Chain A
Amino acid sequence: MENKRIIFSEALERVRHDILAMSSLVEEGLGKALSALQNNDKELAKTVREGDAVVNTMQLTIEDAAVILIATQQPVARDLREIFTILKITVNLERAGDHAVHLAKTAIKLSGKASFRAMGRLERMVKTGQQMIRACISAYLKQDAEAARQAAAMDDIIDGEHKKLSEEMLRLMKKRPELLKKALRFLHTSGDLERMGDHITNICEAIIYMIESRHEELNE
């Protein structure tokens, strides 16, 4: 009779399901924060923090489950690599969630409408970040290293927008010093979203390690 390690496999499946749920919450938080920023909706911005508290709790719950699996099931080889990947996914998703909170804080602090062009760039960064999260978690669940590489490649879009937005804000600060504070806020927010892209790239690297057992530096 073939032994499929049912107890371990079922526990792992539950953890995978929790990771999908956690990633959906981070994605949702980013969407809400963007919407709050675009519509100057401070109430919506406040709900992002509440969602992030749930994300933080999920991180701990998933990590506890992973530690229990190591202690009780003694995984080795690919199973062990998956547990380490799970720990990397949760820590990086949690950081991505923090960036959604930073974006929401910007929405709360920003008075008046932001420039159309800057807002357009932030929107593209956030939406690309959401797509990256969806694509990398899908790559994890399908065990698809190539899909993880493709997900990480989207980070170029975020980096490109960040670079352009930074240049525009620097020009704006020189040209209109009275807008310095607002421009700085946009600059910080853009920097946050750029780092969020790096966190998702870290997840993609962990997925490749899990599948191929080698360390691959993406987006160097």
Chain B
Amino acid sequence: MISTEVLSGETLPPQEAAACGENPDLGRNKVDVKDLDFFYGDFQALKKINFSLARQEVSALIGPSGCGKSTFIRILNRMNDLIPSCRVRGSVLLDGEDIYGDMDVTELRTRVGMVFQKPNPFNMSIFDNVAYGKRMQGLRSRRKLEELVEKSLTRAALWGEVKDRLKKPALSLSGGQQQRLCIARSIAMEPEIILMDEPTSALDPIATGKIEELIGELKMDYSIILVTHAMHQAARVSGKTAFFLLGELIEYNDTKTLFTNPEDKRTEDYISGRFG
């Protein structure tokens, strides 16, 4: 059972802690991954991964192509379920609840949003892109949808640029704007975690800078996991960095430590560019 530390040093189960006025989430990780193995058929893509993500924290995942970092974040909202023959062993806890247990996958994907490498707005208006998810959930009130769209676009630092053309096609936006629109679409679902899989690799440095600033803003409200090949992006925006290699999590450390004094020689070789 997950318990919550209280000031006295004693531990109480979350329900009792809540009854005593304690925040049951206090001190608890948002995500806890324990001894996770993942297989595509016979191929083991991830080996004994132990990972945790605190609330309001940005964790960056780095590592060479094929090391398992994208596979790992796809596990966190069960996107790999769509691939036949994939198999998961170990546990992935979201707020202490096993996401591969009884949790409804639609609910999971509402709580864990995803932004992909290439901006993928739907072929509809800017407004409809952001409103899409909540409409699907049955929200019909025009006023509430307008509020949602404005709030989400503002949060994604895009409102000022698009507020006068919400009816225009989303595909008319620039690449950087499209990516922020995808972030707004994700935010509109009021997720708790946002997974970002190389969200700036298709963007120019200005658009990249905006997304990075946005990540800094978003972490006030969300926990974020960012997969990136840009080592300095990991160094700039994350509090913790995980280095994956050949399906193993080699080192998960404070970003400052990992980039100045990594504990594992393989991490040092990789971040110094002496690995291949």
Instruction: Please list the residues of chain A having a beta carbon within 8 angstroms of any beta carbon in chain B.
Output: 1-5, 8, 74-81, 213
Residues in B with CB closer than 8 Å to A76 are: 231, 235, 259-260, 271-272
When the two chains form their complex, are residues B268 and A5 in contact, meaning their CB atoms are under 8 A apart? no
Q: Determine whether B144 belongs to the interface, using a CB cutoff of 8 Å to chain A.
A: no
In whole angstroms, what is the CA distance A74 to B273 when docked? 10
Residues in A with CB closer than 8 Å to B231 are: 74, 76
When the two chains form their complex, are residues A80 and B260 in contact, meaning their CB atoms are under 8 A apart? yes
Q: Is the interface of A mostly helix, strand, loop or mixed?
A: loop
Size bracket of the B interface: 10 to 19
Residue of B whose beta carbon sits closest to that of A212: B261
Residue of B whose beta carbon sits closest to that of A9: B274
- Shortest Cβ distance from residue B215 to the other chain A in the assembled complex, whole angstroms: 20
Residues in B with CB closer than 8 Å to A80 are: 260
Q: Determine whether B169 belongs to the interface, using a CB cutoff of 8 Å to chain A.
A: no
In whole angstroms, what is the CA distance A76 to B262 when docked? 10
Residues in A with CB closer than 8 Å to B260 are: 76-77, 80-81, 213
Residue of A whose beta carbon sits closest to that of B235: A76
- Shortest Cβ distance from residue B63 to the other chain A in the assembled complex, whole angstroms: 15
Q: Determine whether B275 belongs to the interface, using a CB cutoff of 8 Å to chain A.
A: yes
Residues in A with CB closer than 8 Å to B259 are: 76-77
Residue of A whose beta carbon sits closest to that of B232: A74
When the two chains form their complex, are residues B261 and A77 in contact, meaning their CB atoms are under 8 A apart? yes
Residues in A with CB closer than 8 Å to B275 are: 2-3
- Shortest Cβ distance from residue B131 to the other chain A in the assembled complex, whole angstroms: 41
Residue of A whose beta carbon sits closest to that of B272: A79
In whole angstroms, what is the CA distance A213 to B261 when docked? 7
When the two chains form their complex, are residues A3 and B276 in contact, meaning their CB atoms are under 8 A apart? yes
When the two chains form their complex, are residues A8 and B268 in contact, meaning their CB atoms are under 8 A apart? no
Name A3's contact: one of B268, B271, B273 (CB within 8 Å): B273
